[in-house]
């Protein structure tokens, strides 16, 4: 299959491009390197040393004999996307080219607008480019489990049957996202569903949980293929942060009561899910939603798992409850469904194993590269500006009033 991976230099995009290439698909990566630029803005970098994309691609070509093509540009640039679609004629497009951090979107007004403009405009551009140049192509869009929020009923896969005043209908599941980032994904979902309806496009919206892990079958082949590992307060997920904290003897930063529960998935399962989605396209006009996670844990359970795993490696780790910088329910019901990808053949991996072969081992190996100053949370949902993370540095004198 001819597959475009939008955002193919990122944490999920790079291993996906490698996996699909290894499976014999023809791959074009599209990336504008915005994720690497945000590290410069935030004064942080991946814990793991990552090569520039050109070196990654060349290394893979030399190892596997398989070519990955590259187009450098933004999904938000319509003329560029039009050229890409005309030139490559994709059968599937995997869309990861979005800003993906909830704390980033909550820094201040500019970051909220940047996140929503980038994500919503990019996806709309893509939908128009598909309609104009590749109407039969299958869009595989990365959504998030966070679109659903924390409802007090079971979470279905995209749609729910509602009975009201003697009538019933199958309707999109009600969404209660918890950040301006998560909201951008909800808006995307609505736009995609609408485009399928009016233009007959086909799309799979994968509502993915928190992804963890560093290695895949391809990445282990050469250090120059290594994936990124974020642990800072803005892009690092709780699990990555706990592993890094355990590696340096820092108390694990559980926000609030720690009952906040999320779905989780190993990056090795993510890449399998994408391939399963690609080889099972919906029919024209169909908008398909699948929940992409394999297990769910509360933040406190995660901290306990990391503590126990660290103890097996001879490290004593403490858990510290810190005031929650987010506005979220800290103790709630959580029962999301995830049968669709399992029915397509997904063979899940489990965190109990991945902690040792793809998380804690990596955190310990690269702990000397860690910047301790990016560990403490600095973005509070209640503040309309968070100066410690906003655009605080000016060239020359700082303007004063
Ligand atoms: N948390 C802590 N301690 C920390 C960091 C976070 O307790 O040091 C808590 C947060 O308060 C939250 C939970 O951990 O309740 C999850 O936060 P997270 O940063 O691990 O993940 P989240 O913000 O939910 O976002 C991540 C990805 C995002 C993806 C989402 C999937 O960054 O791209 O969409 O996971 S989901 O969580 O299902 O919405």
Domain of 333: which CATH number?
3.40.50.720
Ligand 1 atom 32: residue of nearest CA:
101
pLDDT tens string 154-169: 999 999 999 999 999 9
The pTM of the full predicted model, rounded to 2 decimals, is 0.97
Q: Taking residues 290-306, report their average pLDDT.
A: 98
Q: Which of 115, 123, 185, 270 is catalytic?
A: 185
Ligand 1 binding pocket mutation candidate from 42, 119, 146 (most atoms within 8 A of CB) = 146
Range of the domain at 254: 2-377
Q: How many domains does the chain have?
A: 1
Does the beta carbon of 145 sit less than 6 angstroms from any atom of ligand 1? yes
Going from the Cα of 345 to the center of ligand 1, the distance in angstroms, rounded, reads: 27
pLDDT tens string 18-35: 999 999 999 999 999 999
User: Is residue 292 predicted with pLDDT exceeding 80?
Assistant: yes
Say how far apart CA 61 and CA 21 lie, in whole Å: 10
399 inside domain:
no
Structure tokens at 381: 């949902």
Going from the Cα of 260 to the center of ligand 1, the distance in angstroms, rounded, reads: 9
Annotated catalytic residue 59: no
Ligand 1 binding pocket mutation candidate from 115, 189, 262 (most atoms within 8 A of CB) = 262
Say how far apart CA 8 and CA 5 lie, in whole Å: 5
User: Is residue 400 predicted with pLDDT exceeding 80?
Assistant: no
Does the beta carbon of 101 sit less than 6 angstroms from any atom of ligand 1? yes
pLDDT value of residue 396 = 63
Q: Taking residues 113-131, report their average pLDDT.
A: 98
Structure tokens at 269: 């399962």
Ligand 1 atom 39: residue of nearest CA:
146
pLDDT tens string 301-340: 999 999 999 999 999 999 999 999 999 999 999 999 999 9
Residues recorded for the chain: 401
Does the beta carbon of 177 sit less than 6 angstroms from any atom of ligand 1? no
Does the beta carbon of 207 sit less than 6 angstroms from any atom of ligand 1? no
Report yes or no: 203 and 287 within 8 Å, Cβ to Cβ. Answer: yes
Contacting residues for 378 by C-beta, under 8 A, at least 6 apart: 233, 234, 325, 386, 388, 389
User: Is residue 395 predicted with pLDDT exceeding 90?
Assistant: no
Q: Listing from the earlier edge strand, what are the strands of the sheet with 261-266?
A: 210-212, 261-266, 295-298
Going from the Cα of 201 to the center of ligand 1, the distance in angstroms, rounded, reads: 31
Going from the Cα of 400 to the center of ligand 1, the distance in angstroms, rounded, reads: 36
Does the beta carbon of 325 sit less than 6 angstroms from any atom of ligand 1? no
DSSP letters spanning 327-373: ---SB----B--HHHHHTT-----HHHHIIIIIHHHHHHTGGG--GG
Annotated catalytic residue 115: no
The pLDDT confidence band at residue 393, using thresholds 50, 70 and 90, is: low
Annotated catalytic residue 237: no
Does the beta carbon of 238 sit less than 6 angstroms from any atom of ligand 1? yes
Question: Residue 144 CA: which ligand 1 atom is closest?
Answer: 34
| Cα distances (angstroms) measured from residue 304 to each of 116, 252, 308, 311, 352 | 35, 9, 6, 11, 11
Which three-class secondary structure state does DSSP give residue 68?
A: strand
Going from the Cα of 251 to the center of ligand 1, the distance in angstroms, rounded, reads: 18
356 inside domain:
yes
Say how far apart CA 121 and CA 128 lie, in whole Å: 11
CB atoms within 10 A of CB 328: 17
Ligand 1 atom 26: residue of nearest CA:
210
The pLDDT confidence band at residue 390, using thresholds 50, 70 and 90, is: confident
Say how far apart CA 332 and CA 325 lie, in whole Å: 18
Q: Which of 104, 148, 173, 181 is catalytic?
A: 181
400 inside domain:
no
């Amino acid at each position: 299959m001819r597959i475009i991976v939008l955002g193919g230099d990122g944490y999920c995009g790079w291993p996906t491009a490698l996996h699909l290439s290894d499976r014999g698909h023809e791959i074009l990566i599209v990336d504008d390197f915005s994720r690497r630029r945000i590290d410069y803005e935030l004064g942080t970098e991946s814990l793991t040393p990552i090569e520039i994309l050109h070196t990654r691609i060349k290394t893979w070509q030399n190892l596997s004999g398989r070519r990955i093509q590259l187009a450098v540009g933004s999904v938000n640039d319509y003329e560029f996307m039009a050229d890409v679609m005309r030139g490559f004629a994709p059968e599937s497009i995997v869309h990861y080219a979005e800003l993906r951090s909830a704390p980033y979107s909550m820094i201040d007004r500019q970051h909220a607008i940047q996140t929503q403009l980038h994500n919503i405009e990019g996806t709309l551009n893509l939908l128009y480019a598909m309609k104009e140049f590749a109407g039969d192509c299958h869009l595989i869009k990365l959504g998030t489990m966070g679109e659903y929020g924390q409802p007090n009923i079971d979470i279905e896969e995209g749609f729910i049957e509602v009975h009201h005043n003697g009538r019933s209908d199958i309707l999109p599941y009600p969404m209660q996202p918890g950040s301006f980032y998560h909201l951008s994904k909800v808006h995307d979902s609505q736009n995609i569903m609408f485009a399928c309806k009016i233009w007959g496009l086909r799309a799979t919206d994968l509502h993915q949980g928190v992804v963890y892990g560093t290695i895949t079958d391809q990445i282990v082949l050469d250090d120059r293929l290594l994936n990124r590992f974020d642990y800072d307060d803005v892009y690092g997920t709780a699990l990555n942060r706990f592993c890094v904290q355990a590696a340096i003897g820092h108390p694990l930063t559980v926000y609030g009561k720690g009952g906040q529960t999320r779905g989780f998935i190993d990056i090795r399962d993510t890449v399998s899910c994408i391939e399963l989605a690609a080889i099972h396209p919906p029919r024209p006009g169909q908008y398909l939603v699948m929940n992409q996670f394999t297990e769910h844990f509360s933040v406190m359970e995660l901290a306990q798992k990391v503590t126990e795993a660290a103890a097996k490696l001879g490290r004593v780790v403490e858990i510290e409850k810190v005031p929650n910088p987010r506005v979220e329910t800290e103790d709630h019901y959580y029962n999301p469904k995830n049968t669709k990808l399992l029915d397509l053949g997904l063979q899940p991996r489990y965190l109990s194993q991945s902690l040792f072969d793809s998380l804690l081992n990596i955190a310990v190996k690269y702990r000397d590269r860690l910047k301790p100053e990016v560990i403490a949370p600095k973005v509070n949902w209640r503040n309309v500006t968070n100066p410690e993370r906003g655009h605080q540095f000016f060239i020359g004198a700082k303007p004063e009033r």
